[in-house]
């Protein structure tokens, strides 16, 4: 490799590191020949509509041109500026598919990523499989209670960083909403193809050494006459 190429690579790496430190647009794999896009989505899954959704596009260096996004509640495509960050307000609860796309700057190859999100808290009746009692729950959310309380309650980092829990989250395609380390429990957001009933019934049997129980996120309604 010539001295010129070595020097050029050092400059590219230095610029990339400096840009990341300044929270500039996220460009990954600067030497990868094909464009790629990944959506990072952030919003409060337990909030009632209207809900604001924040999106950050992670793209490699060959797909920084012609970036645009569709929020799934209309046929409109919006341009994405150089910050690679954008937001949208959904006025009604429901499932929406967010899609970002762009064109590579070197070869003109297309890149696209889509994610379906459940926006706005959805409350529905749930029947407990053991007691037979029916009550209201927040749909699409489950509370996972882990077996090893002593280990997990004493961590100096998030439970989601533990290898066994991280593997479980990836396998079931879950997002973490909140952690309760003092009781070794975690609130997770379910993907669209998993129901609360399935999580409650199947996960403790599927992961017996990891999960003690799974519960729905129940809602306590005030009774008549309560303040």
Query: Which residue is it, tokens 């500026």?
Result: 81
Q: Who wins on pLDDT, 17 or 86?
A: 86
Measured distance CA(121)–CA(141) in Å, rounded: 10
Measured distance CA(16)–CA(26) in Å, rounded: 9
Q: What is the pLDDT of residue 61?
A: 63
Q: What is the pLDDT of residue 32?
A: 53
* DSSP state letter for 222: P
Residues with Cβ < 8 Å from 1, sequence gap 6 or more? none
Q: What percent of the chain has pLDDT over 70?
A: 79
Kindly state the tokens that stand for 123.
Answer: 């409350």
Query: Average pLDDT, whole number, for the chain?
Result: 82
pLDDT in tens, 29-53: 445 567 788 999 999 888 889 999 9
- CB contact at 8 A, 183 and 145: yes
Domains defined for the chain, CATH in brackets: 22-119 (2.60.40.10), 123-218 (3.30.70.80)
Kindly state the tokens that stand for 190.
Answer: 């379910």
User: What is this structure's pTM?
Assistant: 0.62
pLDDT in tens, 61-77: 666 668 999 999 998 99
Average pLDDT on 166-187 reads: 95
Letter string b/e over residues 7-27, b meaning 16 or more CB atoms within 10 A of that residue's CB? eeeeeeeeeeeeeeeeeebbb
Peptide bond between residue 191 and the one before it cis (omega within 30 degrees of 0): no
């Amino acid at each position: 490799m010539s001295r010129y190429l070595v020097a050029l690579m050092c400059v590219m790496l230095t610029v990339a590191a400096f840009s990341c430190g300044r929270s500039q647009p996220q460009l990954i794999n600067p030497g990868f020949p094909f464009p790629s896009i990944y959506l990072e989505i952030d919003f409060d899954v337990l909030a009632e509509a209207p809900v604001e959704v924040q999106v950050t596009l992670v793209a490699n260096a060959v797909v920084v041109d012609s970036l645009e996004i569709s929020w799934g509640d209309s046929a409109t495509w919006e341009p994405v500026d150089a910050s690679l960050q954008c937001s949208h307000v959904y006025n009604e609860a429901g499932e929406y598919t967010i899609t970002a796309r762009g064109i590579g700057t070197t070869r003109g190859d297309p890149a696209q990523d889509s994610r379906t999100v459940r926006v706005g808290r959805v409350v529905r009746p749930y029947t407990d499989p053991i007691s037979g009692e029916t009550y209201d729950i927040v749909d699409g959310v489950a509370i996972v209670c882990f077996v090893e309380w002593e280990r997990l309650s004493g961590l100096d980092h998030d439970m989601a960083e533990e290898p066994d829990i991280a593997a479980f989250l990836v396998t079931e395609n879950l997002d973490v909403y909140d952690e309760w380390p003092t009781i070794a429990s975690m609130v997770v957001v379910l993907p669209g193809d998993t129901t609360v009933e399935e999580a409650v019934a199947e996960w403790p049997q599927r992961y017996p050494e990891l999960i003690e129980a799974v519960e729905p996120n129940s809602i306590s309604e005030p009774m008549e006459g309560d303040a």
